[in-house]
Structure 1
Amino acid sequence: MNPVNILVVEDEFIVAMDIQNRLRKFGYTVLGLADSGEEAIKKAADNSLDLVLMDIHLKGNMDGVEAAQIIHNIFNIPVIYLTANADESTLNRAKGTEPFGYILKPFKEKELKFTIEITLSKHRMEKKLKQNEQWLTTVLKSIGDAVITSDQSGTVTFMNPIAEVLTGWNYSDAFGKEAAEVFNIAHETTRIIIESPVKQVLQSGITVGLPEQTILIAKNGTEIPIDDSVAPIKDDKGNITGAVLVFQDITERNQILEALARRQQEFKALVENAPDIISRFNPQLHYVYVNPAIEKVTGISAETFIGKTNAELNLPEEFCRICDRKLQQVFQTKEETEFECSLAIAQQTRHYHTRLVPELASDGEVYFILSIARNITALKLAEAQLIHDAFHDVLTGLPNRALFMERLERALMLTKRRTDYIFAVLFLDLDRFQVINDSLGHTIGDQLLTALARRLENCLRAGDTVARLGGDEFTILLDDLKNINDVTSVAERIHEALTSAFQLSGYEVFTTVSIGIALSRGSYNRAEELLRDADIAMYRAKALGKARHEIFDSTMYTQVTQLLELEMDLRRAVERQEFQVYYQPIVLLETYKIIGFEALVRWQHPQYGLVSPDNFIPLAEETGLIIPIGYWVLCEACRQMRAWQVQFPIDPPLTISVNLSTKQFSQPGLIEQINQIIQETGLEGGSLKLEITESVLMENIQLATFMLLQLQQMNIQLHLDDFGIGYSSLSYLHRFPSNALKIDRSFIAKIGANGENLEIVQAIVALAQNLNIDVIAEGVETLEQLAQLRLMKCKYAQGYFFSQPLDSKSVETLIVSGIEPRY
């Protein structure tokens, strides 16, 4: 069996690969993939294709319908549309390309294979029939009549070349001989010689036809079946002057008749084995023919249909009404029509697309109607599923954003008509859902979302709507509220429902949600405004500690607006270079000697003045602006430190510490950027210390270790910043090539007179000493804190006790004057 070669035309590569894998699983050969109409046409021209699976929406300027039309017209390759688009206009366009099938995504493998096999079978049959027609046409065009004429005595006077070929006589040899000798005929079955028809015509003067089964016995003995007639040749007075014998070799005609008989059998087999219901009706709407497919659907034998109407067969009333009305329409208009109807039999409803074709008599009247009904139940179910999927979340089965917004719009319009109508929108977001996804995997995460959807449904009243917007975000529409307590009661039920664990594939998972609430009371004109305010309130709930709910008020919107304005200002600040680097000294506690500085960025806002990092660094992290800001700070700090080293040469030289954020550290090309800065500024690698928090390193331990080793090769030191408040995973301290631990200021702040956190700080100092790395205390502000650190033998410190962050000019003064020891 020859392999079936298929071309897959699909603009989405992942979907194309999936289809290719399925086709290969079925045993088909995929000769290629194309994502545009132009590429599909090129591949159709280059390859020996049996079938094209065509998506409608493609890349490029040509869609699938245009490409299918060209492939069908030029290459006569069957096309099956395989697409998610099933709107009426697209179907009408696609129908004009005479496709062999139309499959809606998502589809089942069985549906795909079935459609392909039917298409290939149908195309082979059509191709065979077309070949037969071409062959028959060639045969008919090649048939020519042989002509022999005689005089009054019956001797040959003329032969045309075809007559020469058939009789085996050359004209020169046959001339003057008796026509009966040249035209020797007999009965094919009885073998009896037939009297020369020329003689009969010359005697009777009338045209004589050759008997059936007449054969011509050629000069060489070849027997040729022939047919036609002999007519007298008369002069203008009506006297017989001879005869003309016109005959033809009907060997090919007999072959044609046999071929036509075979073709009729093939057509009959095709019709009787077709899955479509094929039938014919007379003007009285009686069935005159049905194929066996109708028996499988109705359970009524094909013979029973003949001579009866739909009503007489007790078919469903609605089906009879629609079908009979359409038949009458075609009989009246004499025009073909198509329609869809349903046939419910034996508690099963099937949907059919029916085409009615009028068969016209010679007088132009319709004497029969051919009906071809195709089962489109699968298509209808797919359309219904497509509509459902368009308005529902695939994972949870909940309404999606589109359906939720439609219902929200409806509720909002109702408030315009009913002054007593109140509703509320709840915006829910899972707390720490990303942690669950990262630690347990996306499969468990999906299971959690599905299970959460069921619990949320159980918390609502009849008529309320819960929807999944996407990710871990859900919304609820509480309809027709009596008072505010109805809203808070639902929110509290949700919190209560989440107190028990979710059992997910052997894992016991706890989660909470932050809920924002927006009430319909107010001047809302658009559904998006309610959703926006509920979202804002949800973020307020998260900011206040999560696992709680907050009701929106106008101050929240003001704060969000201010934050947006700050973001726009921050973006302009990057372009306008409104940032400054301040420097805080790092001091050797034993001598109060300044050994280096930490670079701290400040924003000189043109309107608000100097903006604290606490007010813009988190926003810069969130928006990604921290990357260009961080690069500028690193470059400026290295440049400035190198200038101070030249201006204030000491041994060892001053160092500069620069913070790296999570986004900076994970940025591709960071090592190359740092190396470029060192090369351009002339700063030695040993004078640069990069401060990185534990959480940055723990996000991707392997990548972090590799990058830190590269930095170590450049002689750049690593300081673990804010040590003690993150993972504090001792097992990884040995893996990371760190040079120092920086104790977070939150620990230092409480080791004064009351001695809180004293043991923690002491443990960190001891840990650093045991690991033979330095330790730096941040945020030293009091003499008591300094005394405790000195007793612990903490080597370095920084903080307001020694100096607040300074601009570059003030730093130069501080370097010259030094820091006065205080005890």
Structure 2
Amino acid sequence: MLAENLTDLICHHQPDGRYEWLSPSVEAILGYAPEALVGEDPYELFHPDDCERIRTESHEQILNGQEANTLIQYRIRHSEGHYVWLESLTETLRDASGEIVRLQVTSRDVTERQAIEEELQRQAHHDPLTGLANRTLLTLRLDALVASGETDFAVLYLDLDRFKAVNDTLGHSVGDELLVQLASRLRREARQCDTVARIGGDEFALLLTEIESEDDAVAAAARVSHAVHAPFDLGGTLREVTLSVGIVLGREDQQASGDVLREADLAAYDAKKNGRAGWRLFTPALREASDRRRRLEADLERAAERNELRVAYQPIVRLSDGALSGMEALVRWQHPELGLLYPDVFISIAEEIGRIGEVDRWVMQEGLRQFERWEAEMGREIDLTLSVNCSARDLHEPRFAERVRGIVGAEPRRAERLTLEITESLLVDDPQRAAAVLHELRRDGLRFSMDDFGTGYSSLSVIHALPVDTVKVDRAFVQRMHEDASALAMVNNVVGFAHTLGKDIVAEGIETPEHLVALREMGCEYGQGYLFGKPLAPDVMSTLVRADVPSWAPLWESVRA
């Protein structure tokens, strides 16, 4: 009577497993009348993938005298054809001699619980936005490959180029839609044995297995790059995107998934650094460069505090008569072990770790102090300008204007001699913010120069709306003037363009007398370059500042002749 009222399923089995008796609850759980299963082999009902596990982990252990005190979960077929998850505990019934005469199995339906657990497992291993595998699942699968010693795999690290611009211009919901569509395209390019994962905001990975060579991985990189080439329809707005892809191949010396993903990330970073929309294969040289970069990052954190930064000064010359009109302050880093480092080695690092503002302000402060030291030594004022580079990140700092005013102080002379050089890219990123900051500082007496003009996207209206005093022509155009007619035309156009707006011109990269003659004929006001001098240490520049006649004065005699 008790068995008839139990919701759990109780079954008696012969030692070989066949049913002898089943409680009435079998009909509610599995849809069978109890008598219909008597004499049947339950292995015919078990899910094929569970049969061997049931046999070895439960049935055979019990027959061999090992009591199965642990629960086992498995699937068994319902009368309607679908499978039900059961959780079962098996006990033995023995005769007087101790022989097993019957097995009693008590089971309960855990299908709903199993579904919840599977969903939780799915959520733990899949990205909620795209439905792709997440970093956790990718890591598990990659770790298994590495641990097995297999090397016939590759990881493609896929970094979406300029995704921030999509979020900033179209909104985060549109950015999410782009990621969902991108995930769909990546799925279509993956084979059944591959894993596509989203491992970060705009970063994806493709784990390729069963590959035969490097060519297979490169071909896969080409496929996914081509797959994203077609424009994405984002709510009626068509948007083209590209991927920077890093490739790492399986090797015997790899220890863990983290090592593989770091190498793939380094390769993707190198692809992005070298122009985006391409792929790079990981090499040990990339790791060495990364190690050196990390070291520089750590050392740069305290470079200013340790008094390791230096300033070199490059003369800016008035082209009408050759007089020294000012100088550009250029930062150097006297590294205690690596020696003197130039900006191309560490400025990008300073920008990435958020130290560029500190470096720029240090150069500004040191340059102004050097002017004041020269004036104190000479006993008179120096009527020269000091140009200092200003990064886009500087103007995006909330307190940038306040900090510059703190450096300039209440001395009008400091503000009047200081020129901040800005780039065109700054105006593209956030022209309204840039204009507001520049106008605020202009009221304090500072001047501004548009650096590397001609390499970006500035329009006449944008330049005209800003308090820019000077436009600097990029050295690349100046140096090609006599070999490339288009470069000569560009310089001529920029000079005319600037004069139309009432701006002065500084030509960079003047290296030959021919450059000087051509620029003077165009009406270019100022210039700098190796023809007049490389960036000079303060003591060398001091000699030039004190000189009545600069060392390049004979050039004007030959020009007049």
Q: TM-score range by the shorter chain?
A: 0.7 to 0.9
1:743 aligns to 2:461 (yes or no): no
User: Helix, strand or coil for the counterpart of 2:248?
Assistant: strand
1:778 aligns to 2:508 (yes or no): yes
| Residue equivalent to 1:608 | 338
Change (3 A) 1:539 1:573: same
Q: Displacement of 1:715 after TM fit?
A: 1.0
Question: Which of 787, 795, 805 is the matching residue for 2:535?
Answer: 805
1:284 aligns to 2:2 (yes or no): yes
Question: Could you tell me which amino acid in structure 2 is paired with residue 499 of structure 1?
Answer: H
| Residue equivalent to 1:386 | 120
| Residue equivalent to 1:598 | 328
Q: Displacement of 1:402 after TM fit?
A: 0.1
Contact 1:319 1:341 in 2 (8 A): no
Question: Which of 375, 390, 396 is the matching residue for 1:660?
Answer: 390
TM-score by length of 2: 0.78
Contact 1:690 1:718 in 2 (8 A): yes
Question: Could you tell me which amino acid in structure 2 is paired with residue 787 of structure 1?
Answer: V
Q: State the alpha-carbon separation in 2 of the partners of residues 600 and 701 from structure 1.
A: 25
Change (3 A) 1:712 1:506: same
Contact 1:425 1:478 in 2 (8 A): yes
| Residue equivalent to 1:528 | 258
Contact 1:425 1:519 in 2 (8 A): yes
Q: How many residues align?
A: 479
Residue deviations 1:318-368 (CA, integer Å, cap 9, x gap): 9999xxxxxxxxxxxxxxxxxx99998989999999xxxxxxxxxxxxxxx
Q: Displacement of 1:681 after TM fit?
A: 7.0
Q: Displacement of 1:488 after TM fit?
A: 2.5
| Residue equivalent to 1:428 | 158
Q: State the alpha-carbon separation in 2 of the partners of residues 399 and 458 from structure 1.
A: 14
Question: Which of 494, 505, 512 is the matching residue for 1:764?
Answer: 494
- Map residues 550-699 of structure 1 onto 2, 5 A cutoff: 550-647=280-377, 653-679=383-409, 683-699=413-429
- Map residues 197-216 of structure 1 onto 2, 5 A cutoff: none
User: Helix, strand or coil for the counterpart of 2:277?
Assistant: coil
Question: Could you tell me which amino acid in structure 1 is paired with residue 24 of structure 2?
Answer: A
| Residue equivalent to 2:130 | 396
1:460 aligns to 2:194 (yes or no): no
Change (3 A) 1:352 1:480: closer
Q: State the alpha-carbon separation in 1 of the partners of residues 262 and 26 from structure 2.
A: 61
Q: State the alpha-carbon separation in 2 of the partners of residues 312 and 693 from structure 1.
A: 79
Q: Displacement of 1:378 after TM fit?
A: 8.1
Residue deviations 1:477-529 (CA, integer Å, cap 9, x gap): 11122333332232222233233332332222222222222121231111111
| Residue equivalent to 1:251 | none
- Map residues 194-593 of structure 1 onto 2, 5 A cutoff: 284-286=2-4, 311=24, 314-317=27-30, 383-415=117-149, 422-593=152-323
Q: Displacement of 1:629 after TM fit?
A: 1.6
Change (3 A) 1:406 1:506: same
Question: Could you tell me which amino acid in structure 2 is paired with residue 720 of structure 1?
Answer: M
Q: Which structure has the larger Rg? A: 1
Residue deviations 1:555-581 (CA, integer Å, cap 9, x gap): 221222122222223234233111111
User: Helix, strand or coil for the counterpart of 1:574?
Assistant: coil
Change (3 A) 1:727 1:581: same
Question: Could you tell me which amino acid in structure 2 is paired with residue 724 of structure 1?
Answer: G
Q: Displacement of 1:312 after TM fit?
A: 7.6
Q: State the alpha-carbon separation in 1 of the partners of residues 267 and 427 from structure 2.
A: 33
Structure 1: runs of 5 or more not aligned: 1-282, 291-308, 322-339, 354-374
Q: State the alpha-carbon separation in 2 of the partners of residues 352 and 649 from structure 1.
A: 96
Contact 1:642 1:683 in 2 (8 A): no
Q: State the alpha-carbon separation in 1 of the partners of residues 483 and 82 from structure 2.
A: 85
Contact 2:3 2:24 in 1 (8 A): no
User: Helix, strand or coil for the counterpart of 1:581?
Assistant: strand
Residue deviations 1:118-171 (CA, integer Å, cap 9, x gap): xxxxxxxxxxxxxxxxxxxxxxxxxxxxxxxxxxxxxxxxxxxxxxxxxxxxxx
Q: State the alpha-carbon separation in 1 of the partners of residues 174 and 379 from structure 2.
A: 59
Change (3 A) 1:768 1:378: farther
Contact 1:639 1:683 in 2 (8 A): no
Identity of aligned residues (%): 38
Question: Which of 490, 493, 517 is the matching residue for 1:787?
Answer: 517
* 4+ aligned runs moved over 6 Å, structure 1: 318-321, 340-353, 375-380, 649-652
Q: State the alpha-carbon separation in 2 of the partners of residues 521 and 772 from structure 1.
A: 62
Question: Could you tell me which amino acid in structure 1 is paired with residue 332 of structure 2?
Answer: R
Q: State the alpha-carbon separation in 2 of the partners of residues 379 and 805 from structure 1.
A: 73
Contact 2:32 2:79 in 1 (8 A): no
Question: Which of 460, 464, 478 is the matching residue for 1:734?
Answer: 464
Q: Displacement of 1:388 after TM fit?
A: 1.4
Q: State the alpha-carbon separation in 1 of the partners of residues 183 and 275 from structure 2.
A: 23
Q: Displacement of 1:316 after TM fit?
A: 2.7
User: Helix, strand or coil for the counterpart of 1:531?
Assistant: helix
